[in-house]
Amino acid sequence: MSQQRLRIGFIGLQAERGWGLSAHLPALRALADGFEVTAVANSSLESSTKAAQALGVPHAFASASELAQSPEVDIVVVTVKVPHHFELVKAAIEAGKHVYCEWPLGNGLEEAKILTDLAQKKGVLAVVGTQARVAPEIIHLRNLVAEGYVGEILSTTLIGASPPWGGSIDKPNAYTYDRANGANLLTIPFGHTIAALFDVLGPIAELSARLDVRRKTATLVETGESIPATSPDQVLVAGTLESGAPISAHYYGGESKGDGLIWRIVGTQGELQLTGPGGHSQLVQLELFGAQGETKKLEKLPLPKKLADDATDGPIVGNVRRVYQALAADLRDDTQTAPSFADAVKVHQVIAAIEAAAESKGFARPADF
């Protein structure tokens, strides 16, 4: 290709495990014509160096701010724990770098708003990792709804079960059981799915909600130690979309033994149902079913050829890859087709509204937050 490759500086890329290794790196390698990973910064120079050597990355930095300042980096990718997002993303934007930050963008709405404003001010491309939005089945669902497959939307309902947030947890993920860390059932699996729902059905106007922690402790698998669980493992929403259609959602923690995701959209002319093994919709292989008019039973709807041809690397790598492709196109064409920080703020607003409605046992409007 004629253009220079986009140079990725990775904050949070470990050699042995983690989302950067399992999702981002394979996606970037599949897009090697357009991207190269030039730098890594972890929590210590030792860790950065280890990852850089193991993964063939030229530059290892002792700190994220050094990476952000590096002339070898065009785009800073942030795949660390949520509580660190704000400082790291802020530093990257202030250094004038484009950013791809994993979802949730902030530990709470305010952080997301500040980062969005800052990115706007600095004129950098700010992409958030709500990858379910680019899952082929979601794109197909969105297109079908837009084309009127179900007619006018009457209502939608979601059931989602997602690990962890069950009775036991491994140490590296134990932080997700502490609500203060902002990385929980509500923000992550539910948030990813709501981000996709926006694309398909539009925003939520108003909602009532309940949050609960049913399992107040969890067992660390490595030691058998019991730790407190304060993150919600139950999310219940009864609301109304801006279109007027009611939305019901129930997400709960743990593995499901049935369909871990059921998302049904009912309209005047038909019905669509998206299912998957889990409610964390960016991670799982989704399946779309539909029936229109006189057809009485849902039938599996295969992906159109173009989407099917783009789905051969599976959901985890494929969804991240599609975000990188959108990001590259945005930089080339001066567009914003990749999930944006501004989009992330809208999801954070829904989460804030859910928290407020659950707290007050009343209702809340996401747009008021």
Contact residues: its own copies, CB under 8 A: 154-155, 157, 159, 161, 167, 208-210, 212, 214-215, 233-234, 236-240, 244-246, 248-250, 252, 254-258, 262, 264, 266, 268, 270-271, 273, 289, 291, 295-298, 361-363
Cβ-based nearer residue to its own copies, 203 or 246 = 246
Kindly give, in sequence order, each residue whose CB lies less than 8 Å from that of residue 166, ignoring residues fewer than 6 positions away: 215, 218, 233, 253, 254, 255
| Minimum distance from residue 149 beta carbon to its own copies (Å) | 12
| Minimum distance from residue 338 beta carbon to its own copies (Å) | 33
Buried b (16+ CB within 10 A) or exposed e, 212-241: ebebeebeeeeeeeebebebbbbbbbbbbb
Nearest to 196 by CA among 353, 321, 339, 23: 339
Residue 316 exposure: Cα atoms within 13 Å on the Cβ side: 10
Cβ-based nearer residue to its own copies, 100 or 252 = 252
Cβ-based nearer residue to its own copies, 243 or 337 = 243
Q: Are strands 35-41 and 59-61 parallel, antiparallel or unpaired?
A: parallel
Residue 191 phi/psi, 5-degree rounding, is -60, -45
Cβ-based nearer residue to its own copies, 28 or 194 = 194
| Minimum distance from residue 236 beta carbon to its own copies (Å) | 4
| Minimum distance from residue 287 beta carbon to its own copies (Å) | 12
Residue 323 exposure: Cα atoms within 13 Å on the Cβ side: 29
Contact 186, 232 (CB under 8 A): yes
| Minimum distance from residue 294 beta carbon to its own copies (Å) | 10
Cβ-based nearer residue to its own copies, 136 or 270 = 270
Cβ-based nearer residue to its own copies, 175 or 363 = 363
Cβ-based nearer residue to its own copies, 120 or 243 = 243
| Minimum distance from residue 249 beta carbon to its own copies (Å) | 8
Give 264's strand partners: 157, 273
Other CB atoms within a 10 A radius of the CB of residue 248 amount to 14
Residue 184 phi/psi, 5-degree rounding, is -140, -175
Cβ-based nearer residue to its own copies, 305 or 361 = 361
| Minimum distance from residue 195 beta carbon to its own copies (Å) | 21
Q: How many helices (H) and strands (E) does the chain have?
A: 11, 18
Contact 347, 132 (CB under 8 A): no
| Minimum distance from residue 217 beta carbon to its own copies (Å) | 12
| Cα 295 from Cα 289, distance rounded (Å) | 12
How many residues are given for the chain? 369
Residue 43 exposure: Cα atoms within 13 Å on the Cβ side: 5
Handedness of CA 83, 38, 68, 49 (dihedral sign): positive
